[in-house]
Structure 1
Amino acid sequence: MATHAAKTASRPKGLETAKRVRKAALKRFANAGYAAVSMREIAADVGVRPGALYNHFPTKQDILKDLMLSHMSELLAAWEMADFPDTMDPLERFVRFHIGYHLERADEVFISYMELRNLEPDNFKAIETERRRYEAILTSILEEGAAARRYKADDARVATRAIIAMLTGIPTWYREGGRIGKGELEDLYLTMVRKAVSPERTDRQTEAG
C-alpha cells in the first residue's frame, strides 16, 4: 500500500517533468534542429540527470514523435472548436483558422514540417495519418465548393497541399508589429487562395489558350 501511495503521489510530479521535457525539446529542436540536439542537453535544460529522461521518453525519437502528434491532435481539436459565423464561406473559415492558429505556434509548425525527414518509418506513418485527416478538411471544402461551382480545382488533393504549404510558410517570415497586421495578412492570403481556385480564372485561361 505504501509503495502504491508513493507512486500515486509522485504522478503529478512526473507529469510536470514530462511537460518540461517537451517544452525544452521543442525549443532546442526549433533553434538547432533535431539532429544536433542531445538528450543530455535537454536534460540540462530541464534540470535533471540524463537518465531521468528515459522514465518519460525512452529515446529522442519518442520526444519528436510526441511533439508532432500533440501538435496535430491539438490542431484538429482547435478546428472542431473554432467559432466562426455560420454565414462565412468555408474556404475563408479554413484560411483564417489556419493562419491564426499557426502564427501563435511558430516553433511547433517549424518542427512539424521541417523535421518530418528525421522521423523513423513507423513514426512517419503515424504523423502522416494525422496530417491527412487535417488535409481532408480542406479537400472536402474544395470538392463541395467545386460541386456548387464556387471553386475550381482539377485535383482537390493537390490543391489542398499547395494551399496548406503556402499558408504554413507564413510563420517563417511574418513578425508581429511589422507593416502588415494579422487581419490584413489573412485578407491578402485569402485573396490569393480564392484566385487560385476561382472558376473565372480557369475560364479565362481556357479562352486565352
Structure 2
Amino acid sequence: MPMPERCERFAEYRDKVLELFASKGFGQVGMRELATCLGLAPGSLYHHYPSKQHLLADLIEEFYEELLATLGRLDKKAKRGMLPSLIQAHLNLHREMPWHFRLAERDSGCLNEDQQQRVRQLREQYECRLLLMLGAKSRLSAQGQLAAGHAIANLLNSAPGWLTQHALGEAERDELLESLVSGAVERLLRPSVPRAVA
C-alpha cells in the first residue's frame, strides 16, 4: 500500500520536529507538544498529520530517499574506489542529517504496520543497491546476500557515532572510520578461502 503524499508544509516543519523527536525520544512527544513547538494549534497540525507516526514516517522516508539519491549520484561516477566513496558519502550525509540517522535506527518500530512495511521496502532497496555497487560476489546464498547488505548498511550508518566521545579532528576521525569500515566490508566481500581443518 503506497504512503500518502508528504504534507506540502513538511519542509517547514522538518527541522523542529527532527530535533524534538531525536532529543526527547519519539514516545515522549505528544501531538500537543508538537503543535506548540511548530507554533500551530493542535487542530491545525491534525489537519496536516493525523498522527505523530505520520510525521515520523515522512522523516524516515526522507532519510532513505536521500540515501538512495546519494547512491544514485555515486553510481554515475567511476566504479574504481567505490567503497571509499561510499564511506565518505555516508560520513558527509551523517554530518548533514544526524537526526535522521538516529530516528531511522531508534524509532522505526513506532510506526504502524503499513508505514513499517514502506520503510522496510526503502531500506531493502538501499541495501540491495549497496551490494550491487560494491560488486558483491555470489559466494553467499540469497539470504546471505540480504544479510550482508543489511550488515554493510548498519556499518555505514552507525560508524559515525563510534568515535563521538573522542576529541579527534574531522580528517583523522574520517580516516579512522574509513579504515575500520573498509576493512570489515572488504573482508566480507572477499572470495571465500577454504578454512584449514584443525
The answer to whether the superposition gives a TM-score over 0.5 is yes
2:4 aligns with none
Count, aligned residues? 187
**SS of 2:117's equivalent?**
helix
1:40 aligns with 32
Supply the distance in 1 between the matched residues of 2:75 and 2:121 (Cα, whole angstroms).
Answer: 25
**Retained in 1: the 8 A contact 2:131–2:149?**
yes
Gaps in structure 1 of 5+ consecutive residues: 1-13
**Retained in 1: the 8 A contact 2:84–2:178?**
no
Identical-pair percentage: 26
1:164 aligns with 153
Deviates more, 1:179-188 or 1:100-109: 179-188
Q: Aligned pair 1:27/2:19, yes or no?
A: yes
Aligned ranges 1:64-83 → 2 under 5 Å: 64-82=56-74
Q: What's the TM-score, normalizing by structure 2?
A: 0.80
Q: Deviations over 1:80-129 (max 9, x none)?
A: 12388515244444333333323432210110121111110011111111
Supply the distance in 1 between the matched residues of 2:131 and 2:77 (Cα, whole angstroms).
Answer: 21
Q: Aligned pair 1:97/2:77, yes or no?
A: no
Q: CA RMSD in A?
A: 2.7
Q: What's the TM-score, normalizing by structure 1?
A: 0.76
Gaps in structure 2 of 5+ consecutive residues: 1-6
Aligned ranges 1:127-166 → 2 under 5 Å: 127-141=119-133, 144-146=135-137, 153=140, 155-166=144-155
Change (3 A) 1:99 1:157: farther
Q: RCO greater where, 1 or 2, for CA within 8 Å and sep 6 or more?
A: 2
Q: Aligned pair 1:178/2:168, yes or no?
A: yes
